[in-house]
Structure 1
């Protein structure tokens, strides 16, 4: 499942500040001498995106003398819960960060609340800069389904799921970094044989679902992702790759690769256990990276889920421009600045995952690897989004299902049946429009 429902929401709610960056007057995008750009986002000031976007604002001001930038840092939940009302209001922004996906940006695009960015994406090179899987979350059809149609948003950072590992524990127990799923299984057997639970996860929140999805993706192709996420064709939950994912997940639970009490654990429990050096591996996303870099005191690193060509992940959130904006051209200029090498490198050098950065310009070796691995996944069209994305309310369905597999209260067949019906019902409702 996806970090937006967990980590980012919690962080963003903690800091709500309003900053006026310069002073001028007016708020139109026409021929008046005085203009205004109203900009909202919910990234923390010291986060990779917050640092980079502050610099983008400085560049924008230098290149647009006489334009006032009215920046407001909002809480994630403020925008998430009230977006339609906000951008329909005269008090709304001209450009804002917004969550990607059918239930968010897709819904607003379907309602006619977002500006069509297609011409700008072509003219300014955004379409060339973003891989097909990154473009998926930027484009929506007339039903608000991502993956095709017009551009309604632009991402300038990404995120993906990987394996974080404790190098000290690997060295202590003579375990090598696996390059195939078979090698990973052998590594986990070694840990279990020495009384160590090899993988930390969290059944009460998104991590267990991401682990299941990574396992399913090991047997999947792009056609499956298109069917599951974009409803191109019906999905058979009783067949591979979903069957393989569920059966392998259950097998890993039985073999002790996952702790029995993981069913009730939350993502924060998983993360703090890894930070404390108690867990050899966790399967989770790049959003942990900056925190691990700051808080971990042992030797650690990461690797892509071994053998997979497809990985849970996507673009980051989107810059969107409300249709009601009176400063659309200024908004487009700001978005364009965030795609420049200087801003992309700032994201990368502060622990983020830029979509268009030269890894050689990133100074920290771990940061370089984070970006190089993302570029590898993105370059092979390997971003497969998240398992809970397809239909509203699916997150809770999946959480319940994988808790049952961890505590072995249900069989894989039962869990697959439990998660199949809500998916089918949700897709049918979306298709009816």
Structure 2
């Protein structure tokens, strides 16, 4: 028995030694190389897909001592998988994360590591970033990532040729939008091309700005923190849901809006079967590559019309700092060092200049586009950003549970399955 115990102890020690060695090998890789696994959603039609492919290839060239297992997946699959892995505390070493609410959830759960020290060690890089690129990844004074760019989510795209053909005024108020809808419908034109199969486009691109037009910006913060008596059951919020229902039931959207995704919906606009779209800045590269040449000169950008009696600033656009890489708190020191270098590599001025080539709004104050060299669409976007302040995108402010309620609830309201009051009450119950 004693000999057996000794053998067992020796065996356990040997196994632990092997496992420890394996762990070191996993971190260092073969021949002393550091191995990291990174996940992101820059794939397919995402405007950053080609950019990321090129930059990651360059990072590998400049860092031959690093082995990167890079996994890419579409946004919807990505977010689902990320939440599943987070629940199992089995996340990759580095991964793309959304700012604000999602970052707060992961930080509070201790799943990601702050990068404040690295930012302080590189003040020239840190100070060259727009404030939102850092602020929206700040949780209780700790910064967890740097936004790679800025995303506008509610740009009002319209085909000026169709507006001129049918003598329609570009709407600046909601009643004017309703008039435009009626004219286009009478002439067999879809007023607004839209797709919400994935259940986030309605919330991100339309409802976020409609709700802000109705409630104003401070109300959302107050409703989420139970300040100043604000609640999701307030009339200013249910009024916004009523407008969403009105857009669906009045025929302002294509009849298949709930069964096709936002990318599929763009075809209506490109074929001149639709006069308008409400989309994000991520659409620009697609406009350059896929919009027919004959309509490109007539594609204009504006903001969603004002709501009569609304409390929000009618000049705003919903927008947010874009996603950024975060570091798994369980990553080894060697892996963290590589991932910090990657975060900087993807957000420094050199990368930001390349970002502009892909028609993406940048997050650096040092990088100014030459409007004579960028695409006409990007030049218009730059002007839009200068003239219109950004307000919160709902899924950036809400936690995962609340976002799901809004995403599902919007479809239910617009399809007449649930009432605005019911969705508002369900959402209000989540506020602690």
CA shift, 1:151, in A, is 1.0
| 1:164 equivalent in alignment to 2:175 | no
In structure 2, distance between residues paired with 1:374 and 1:235: 30
Residue 338 of structure 1: SS of its match in structure 2? helix
Partner of 1:424: 428
Partner of 2:48: 49
- Aligned residue among 308, 331, 350 for 1:342: 350
- Note if contact 2:47-2:282 (Cα within 8 Å) is conserved in structure 1: no
| 1:237 equivalent in alignment to 2:232 | yes
Residue 214 of structure 2: SS of its match in structure 1? coil
| 1:222 equivalent in alignment to 2:220 | no
Partner of 2:5: none
Partner of 2:340: 332
Partner of 2:380: 369
Partner of 1:7: none
- Note if contact 2:320-2:396 (Cα within 8 Å) is conserved in structure 1: no
In structure 1, distance between residues paired with 2:266 and 2:380: 20
- Aligned residue among 67, 70, 82 for 2:68: 70
Cα-Cα RMSD? 3.7
- Note if contact 1:349-1:367 (Cα within 8 Å) is conserved in structure 2: no
Task: Count the aligned residue pairs.
Answer: 382
- Note if contact 1:206-1:267 (Cα within 8 Å) is conserved in structure 2: no
> Against the structure 1 CA distance between its residues 201 and 56, is the aligned structure 2 distance closer, same or farther, given a 3 Å change threshold?
closer
Q: What TM-score do you get using the length of structure 2 for normalisation?
A: 0.73
> Against the structure 1 CA distance between its residues 81 and 293, is the aligned structure 2 distance closer, same or farther, given a 3 Å change threshold?
same
| 1:206 equivalent in alignment to 2:216 | no
Partner of 1:431: none
In structure 1, distance between residues paired with 2:88 and 2:214: 43
Task: Give ranges in structure 1 of 5+ residues lacking alignment.
Answer: 1-24, 142-148, 429-433
> Against the structure 1 CA distance between its residues 422 and 404, is the aligned structure 2 distance closer, same or farther, given a 3 Å change threshold?
closer
Q: Deviations over 1:224-269 (max 9, x none)?
A: 2323566666533343532432343344455543456645554355
Q: What TM-score do you get using the length of structure 1 for normalisation?
A: 0.73
In structure 2, distance between residues paired with 1:400 and 1:86: 25
- Note if contact 1:138-1:152 (Cα within 8 Å) is conserved in structure 2: yes
Partner of 2:363: 355
In structure 1, distance between residues paired with 2:324 and 2:225: 19
Aligned ranges 1:258-269 → 2 under 5 Å: 258-259=253-254, 262=257, 266-269=261-264
In structure 2, distance between residues paired with 1:291 and 1:250: 29
In structure 2, distance between residues paired with 1:132 and 1:240: 33
Partner of 1:80: 82
In structure 2, distance between residues paired with 1:245 and 1:426: 19
In structure 1, distance between residues paired with 2:95 and 2:399: 24
> Against the structure 1 CA distance between its residues 252 and 233, is the aligned structure 2 distance closer, same or farther, given a 3 Å change threshold?
same
- Note if contact 2:352-2:362 (Cα within 8 Å) is conserved in structure 1: yes
In structure 2, distance between residues paired with 1:397 and 1:116: 30
> Against the structure 1 CA distance between its residues 396 and 57, is the aligned structure 2 distance closer, same or farther, given a 3 Å change threshold?
closer
- Note if contact 2:112-2:327 (Cα within 8 Å) is conserved in structure 1: yes
Task: Give ranges in structure 2 of 5+ residues lacking alignment.
Answer: 1-24, 307-313
Partner of 2:322: 316
Residue 219 of structure 1: SS of its match in structure 2? helix
Partner of 1:301: 300
- Note if contact 1:274-1:281 (Cα within 8 Å) is conserved in structure 2: yes
Partner of 1:140: 139
Q: Deviations over 1:85-133 (max 9, x none)?
A: 88757xx43x33234453x433332222211122333443565445455
Residue 281 of structure 1: SS of its match in structure 2? strand
- Note if contact 1:113-1:322 (Cα within 8 Å) is conserved in structure 2: yes
Farther off after superposition, 219-228 or 37-46: 37-46
In structure 1, distance between residues paired with 2:194 and 2:45: 28
- Note if contact 1:253-1:405 (Cα within 8 Å) is conserved in structure 2: no
Residue 423 of structure 2: SS of its match in structure 1? helix
Residue 345 of structure 1: SS of its match in structure 2? helix
Partner of 2:180: 187
In structure 2, distance between residues paired with 1:196 and 1:61: 49
In structure 2, distance between residues paired with 1:246 and 1:68: 50
- Aligned residue among 284, 287, 292 for 1:289: 284
* Runs of 4+ in structure 1 over 6 Å off: none
- Note if contact 1:134-1:315 (Cα within 8 Å) is conserved in structure 2: yes
- Note if contact 2:156-2:278 (Cα within 8 Å) is conserved in structure 1: yes
Residue 427 of structure 1: SS of its match in structure 2? coil
